Amino acid sequence: MWQDSSLQRWAAQFRSRRPILAGGSVVFAAGLVGLAIAPNLSSYFAAWAVLGIGMASGLYDAAFATLGRLYGAAARGTITALTLIAGFSSTICWPLSAVLIEGLGWRKTCLAYAGLHLVIALPAYLLFLPQSPAVTDEPQLYEGIVAEETRAPQRPGLFVIVACSFMIGAAIRSVMSVHLLSILQAHGLSLSAAVSLGTLVGPSQIAARLYEVAIGHRFHPMWTFLTAGCLITVGIALLPLARPAVVFGIILYGGGVGMMTIARGTVPLALFHPSGYAT
């Protein structure tokens, strides 16, 4: 009897997704400590592998799955709010990192960030994240929002299409994030001009997410996904053109990336029912 009840309590705790995010903070801290003390290149790469596990369990996707589990079909608003707040992360952390590296060096900066994960993020997950879902998994509660037959186990083809779409989009955005400045310089812009134009991406993302908060939530998430894809495509296509078109292209690209982040969280929720969302 005691073992059964303990297992039930453990299962309820795990279903809350709290251990996933809390564990992600611990893994992040371990990876950052590994970077800080890495004596050679192989251990440096090993630390980055640990950080990759932390990213998979502690960034957007894990957070979206947690919100979907907690709030069910009503999670779209909280997902949008999360992406809106997180859009300022680079605005805060890039200058903070620069200050810390200048004053402490990069190794001690890694240790400082590891400490933030353990002192701030970990207790926040454990203390403030609900242990149990705010909604039930009963399918009848979501009638009119998504048909039961669209859940992932019954529609593996749809699941593959969504997964491939997100994978291709993520690859394109990753390449653009790394090489955007080089692309701009290759078309005749100076480094300073390329950096200045590149800074338009962040505000464009925030503006697109504000649009989602104000208006976009009235439409099906697939429209957010399609709009984001079109904005990214047109934005990239404008990059090889003359200066005014380049500026417009970067704004469109940044807006598309901002909306696509929301779509990553809301499209699976709408297509696969909250009970199949984390999968």
Burial 182-217, CB ≥16 within 10 A → b, else e: ebbeeeebeeeebeebbebbbebbbebbebbeeebe
DSSP 126-168: HHHS-SS-SS---GGGGTTTS-GGGSGGG-HHHHHHHHHHHHH
Question: Regarding predicted confidence, which is higher, 145 or 222?
Answer: 222
Terminal alpha carbon distance of the chain: 31
Q: Is the pLDDT of residue 207 over 90?
A: no
Q: How far apart are CA 22 and CA 63, in angstroms?
A: 11
Q: How many residues does the chain have?
A: 279
Q: How far is CA 107 from the centre of its chain?
A: 26
Joined tokens for residue 225: 């996904």
**149-173: per-residue pLDDT in tens?**
444 455 778 888 888 988 898 888 8
Q: Is the pLDDT of residue 113 over 90?
A: yes
Q: Which of the residue ranges 8-17, 54-63, 198-207 would you say has the lowest mean pLDDT? A: 8-17
**46-76: per-residue pLDDT in tens?**
999 999 999 888 888 888 888 877 887 777 7
